[in-house]
Amino acid sequence: MDQVLEEKRQQLEGLRSEAELGGGPEKIEKQHSGGKYTARERIERLIDPGSFIEFDKFVTHRCHDFGMEDKKFLGDGVVTGIGEINGQKVALYSQDFTCWGGALGAAHAKKICKIMDLALENRIPVIGMADSGGARIQEGVDSLGGYAEIFYRNVKASGVIPQITIIMGPCAGGAVYSPAITDFIFMVDKTSYMFVTGPDVIKTVTHEEVTKEELGGASTHAEKSGVAQFKCNGEDECFERVRELLCYIPPSNFREQTTLFTSDPVFRDNLKLQDLIPSNPKKPYDMKEVITEIVDEGRFMEVHQDYAKNIIVGFASIGGEKIGIIANQPQILAGVLDIDSSNKAARFIRFCDAFDIPFLTLVDVPGFLPGTVQEYGGIIKHGSKLLYAFAEATVPKITLITRKAYGGAYDVMASKHIRADVNLAFPTAEIAVMGAEGAVNIIFRNELKGLKGKELEKKRQELVSSYEKQFNNPYRAAELGYIDAVILPEETRQRISEYFKTLKHKKVEMPRRKHGNIQL
């Protein structure tokens, strides 16, 4: 080989090796000792083997202040490129904490923006792995401008391509708002955290003592704030969960949803459901058992599992057709709707609608949670988000009332009146303005006024029994056409599959407008 060519080859190999070392062996070892992979190792473990094509490997910053001209890392602290997950192309960026703690500068941000633009133009999902101490202070407003450029692209891509953020370490200050705009946030327990202001600033300003984990750890955001949809016990588990999620969602809103292979027969009887729902309407049961009984092979990928547990949302398939599921959970607060559950479900519904994912709504709801905490917190405003999301959605919508559907919550939970396509009910369904006891106390207050003791109780029970017989069933609603069919629990899977197949090519023309004005 020509000597000049050999020298150039060696130069390239040397630069590649330098770039792949990031901040150097010592920093890599420190990363490993903290229970964390490096930026490149994360990409390798997430994507299909050998599928990564890297961009901008030799990019460096152009800052000449504070001695930065003498401190450069090839790649500028972030690895970007294209890979495949389950054979599907995805765009990726992974921040490298071994280089200035993953701090974002102008060149770093430009690399991320380039890969986001490529993802949007080619209609493929974008996955970001955040592990950064925040803005690169030495670059000043250039760093801030870089964040804003990323935010703009997050908004532009919203509803067009899926955007997933994996928090692998710190994510602080302005950096948190890019993940907040994306569709799903994964966090790793004990090694990742997010907050706008850290513990030191909080102590100075408000005199509160709080640790990083308490303030913005994975448990905090998965259980209390609802910022994170998934909490994982380690980075490897996190990658597996991301791969699982991508099995259920399309690469963009331009692509038709593919089917999942299943050996579970659609005509399987759901015999377990015959006795699952108690005859006593006050007795709880686990709605997750209903879900796992009717979906393919009992596989249900729950989203926001640890937040607002009185409502359940997640992905599954029935007969190979991928769907979203929204369900009240009678085991928690009797399945009542409140501020957090309304926000959680509304966000999920709007994701499904944006990406043409049909959804099934399982209803067992006694109403909205009463009390001053909810009223002062804006339950009216937040509850309207759920109503808006259900009414706005144009994807195939099937609703099954398993038991209670009372008051305004009946309307909100994908009722026929807000244009669910198919509304079903079990024989155990109770569709009414309110429960029998509350209704009797209002309707018959004058009749009960003069009665006392046993006489009062006897009369009340008679009236309650009469009301339940007349109203606490699905047949009045079925007579009016608000329920399309009353079905037996054991035929649930078969009937739902048939309806979804019928609705597969549903088209709805919406009024011409820039966008609606959902309550925020």
Mean pLDDT of the chain: 93
Average the pLDDT over 409-428 and give the result: 97
81: left (phi over 0), alpha (psi -120 to 50) or beta: left
pLDDT digits (tens, 9 = 90+) for 35-76: 999 999 999 999 999 999 999 999 887 877 776 777 888 989
Catalytic residue among 145, 174, 377, 407: 174
Average the pLDDT over 151-156 and give the result: 98
Q: Is 408 part of the annotated catalytic residue set? A: yes
Catalytic residue among 145, 198, 408, 438: 408
pLDDT digits (tens, 9 = 90+) for 192-249: 999 999 999 999 999 999 999 999 999 999 999 999 999 999 999 999 999 999 999 9
Helix (H) or strand (E) holding 53: strand 53-55
- For β-strands 359-365 and 230-232, DSSP reports them as unpaired
φ, ψ (nearest 5 deg) of residue 45: -80, -25
- The answer to whether 245 and 184 have CB atoms below 8 angstroms apart is yes
Catalytic residue among 22, 23, 173, 335: 173
Catalytic residue among 107, 409, 414, 420: 409
User: What angle separates helix 141-157 from helix 106-122, to the nearest 10 degrees?
Assistant: 10
Share of the chain above pLDDT 90, in %: 79
- The answer to whether 403 and 330 have CB atoms below 8 angstroms apart is yes
Tokens representing 271?
């015999």
- The answer to whether 259 and 322 have CB atoms below 8 angstroms apart is yes
pLDDT for the residue 437: 80
Average the pLDDT over 363-391 and give the result: 97
State whether residue 32 is helix, strand or coil.
helix
Tokens representing 49?
């083997």
Q: Can you point out the beta strands (E) in 113-245?
A: 126-130, 163-167, 170-172, 184-188, 193-195, 230-232
Tell me: pLDDT of 356 over 80. yes
State whether residue 206 is helix, strand or coil.
helix
Tell me: pLDDT of 292 over 80. yes
Tell me: pLDDT of 491 over 80. yes
Average the pLDDT over 90-118 and give the result: 95
Spatial distance between the Cα atoms of 319 and 493, rounded to a whole number of angstroms = 9
Spatial distance between the Cα atoms of 171 and 212, rounded to a whole number of angstroms = 11
Amino acid symbol at 456:
L
461 compared with 328, residue with greater pLDDT: 328
Helix (H) or strand (E) holding 29: helix 25-33
pLDDT for the residue 137: 78
Place of tokens 């099995």: 247
Tell me: pLDDT of 364 over 90. yes
Spatial distance between the Cα atoms of 273 and 264, rounded to a whole number of angstroms = 17
Q: Please report, for residues 92, 127, 163, 287, the alpha-carbon distance to residue 242 in angstroms, rounded to integers and kept in the order given.
A: 13, 9, 11, 25
Spatial distance between the Cα atoms of 460 and 467, rounded to a whole number of angstroms = 10
pLDDT for the residue 68: 76
pLDDT for the residue 296: 98
Average the pLDDT over 295-324 and give the result: 98
Q: Could you give the domains of the chain? A: 37-248 (3.90.226.10), 271-435+472-502 (3.90.226.10), 436-471 (no CATH)
pTM more than 0.85: yes
- For β-strands 422-425 and 88-95, DSSP reports them as unpaired
Spatial distance between the Cα atoms of 212 and 438, rounded to a whole number of angstroms = 47
Tell me: pLDDT of 315 over 80. yes
Average the pLDDT over 362-372 and give the result: 96
Q: Is 174 part of the annotated catalytic residue set? A: yes
pLDDT for the residue 1: 63
User: SS3 breakdown of the chain: % helix, strand, coil, rounded to 5?
Assistant: 45, 20, 35
